[in-house]
Amino acid sequence: MNQISVIGAGLMGSQIALCAAFAGFKVHLYDVDEQRLQTSQQQLAKQMANYIKRGLFSQEQFDQANDNLILETSLSTAVEHADLVIEAIVEDLALKRNLFQQLDELAPPHAILATNSSMIVSSMLASSTTRPDQVCNIHFFNPVFLMAVVEVVKGAHTSNETAQAAVDFVTRIHKTPLLLQKEITGFIANRILTKVMEEAMFLLEEGVATVEEIDLACTKALNHPIGPFALMDLTGLDTAYAIQKTQFELEEDAKAPSPLLKEKLAHGQLGRKTGQGFYTYQ
């Protein structure tokens, strides 16, 4: 496996692409929105400057990784030589199914098609391709460079070879693969996380405690590295909403997204990326 294509240059796709480029893969990064491709570069440079300052990486490593990263404005060029395609577009089942159908037509027959979706199991996407045995979930966590674990989910349709290749890829980018042998919406971490977020939202809506107090309970009483509201701001409240909505649509006993979250979206408050979410950012 040498050539990786990442589809979607948003928060996750841009970091996944650079992370693979750091490990020496040739990476083609595509987004339907050309402007987004450019801004993703600026955001990555800012993030890397911070990591370099903290001594996590050297400028030379970043420069080398950048040489391995090619920005693409055509989907067919982006995937024509891919060994592995990682989809990281918005959390929307219909859009993802449509994209997987295109990827099936455009990527080489041997290429593995993986999704970084937070909730959607790959069988829901594999059925829009002619290669379901080469489809799986490879689910990263944000911030990609700092989070050590990546979930790989093997559906009943996924071949052992595909699952092994996905695990090998994760190992080659210096992450610990967590292989799930069975599909389940939200996999492991997000199933647990959505319960925490649901309860945090309930406590806030009931007026039991403030955003700051609930986050403090999680960070200082439960020793979580970040509170649920600060984490939603980091994820992006639009993405957090889309994730909760997807889970609600896919799971019988899941809760609908909180009206409070909807209200924030209506006011354009998307978290860190807009400077305002549950917290205010400079």
Interface residues with ligand NAI (CB under 6 A) are 7-13, 31-33, 36, 88-91, 95, 99, 116-118, 140-142, 235-236, 239, 243
Least spacing, CB of residue 115 vs ligand NAI, in Å: 7
Q: Is 267 a catalytic residue?
A: no
| Active-site annotation holds for 66 | no
Nearest-angstrom CA–CA distance, 51 and 17:
17
Give the phi and the psi of residue 86 in degrees, each rounded to 5: -110, 120
Count the neighbouring beta carbons within 10 Å of the beta carbon of residue 32: 15
- Smallest distance, Å, CB 18 to ligand NAI? 13
List the catalytic residue out of 122, 151, 157, 258.
151
- Between CA 195 and CA 255 the distance in angstroms is 10
Q: Which long-range contacts (CB under 8 A, 24 or more apart) does 190-193 make?
A: 190/118, 190/119, 190/243, 193/228, 193/231
Which is nearer to ligand NAI, 221 or 267 (by Cβ)? 267
Our answer to whether residue 118 is catalytic in this structure is yes
| Least distance between ligand NAI and beta carbon 136 (Å) | 15
Please state, in angstroms and rounded to a whole number, the distance separating the CA atoms of residues 24 and 44: 17
Measured from the CB of residue 104, what is the shortest distance to ligand NAI in angstroms?
14
* Shortest Å distance, C-beta 139 to ligand NAI: 6
Backbone torsion region of residue 252, taken as left when φ is above 0, otherwise alpha when ψ lies between -120 and 50, otherwise beta: alpha
Edge-to-edge strand list for the sheet holding 3-7: 69-72, 26-30, 3-7, 84-87, 112-115, 135-139, 149-153, 176-180
Whichever of 79 and 167 has its CB closer to ligand NAI, that residue is 79
Q: Name the DSSP class of 280.
A: B
Would you call 161 a catalytic residue per the annotation? Answer: no
C-beta closer to ligand NAI: residue 23 or 143:
143
Name the residue nearer to ligand NAI (CB basis): 12 or 65.
12
Return the residue nearest ligand NAI (CB atom): 10
Which lies closer to ligand NAI via its Cβ, residue 122 or residue 134? 122
Closest distance of CB 189 from ligand NAI, Å:
9
| Contact (CB, 8 A) for 142 and 234 | yes
Q: What angle do CA 151, 8, 272 make, to 5 degrees?
A: 80
Q: Where are the alpha helices (DSSP H) in the chain?
A: 11-22, 34-53, 59-68, 75-79, 93-106, 123-126, 160-172, 189-205, 211-216, 228-235, 237-250, 259-266
Q: Which residue of the set 14, 40, 116, 118 is catalytic?
A: 118
Which residue, 25 or 140, has its beta carbon nearer to ligand NAI?
140
User: Measured at the alpha carbon of residue 119, what is the angle toward residues 160 and 5, in degrees to the nearest 5?
Assistant: 60
Q: Give the active site residues.
A: 118, 139, 151, 190
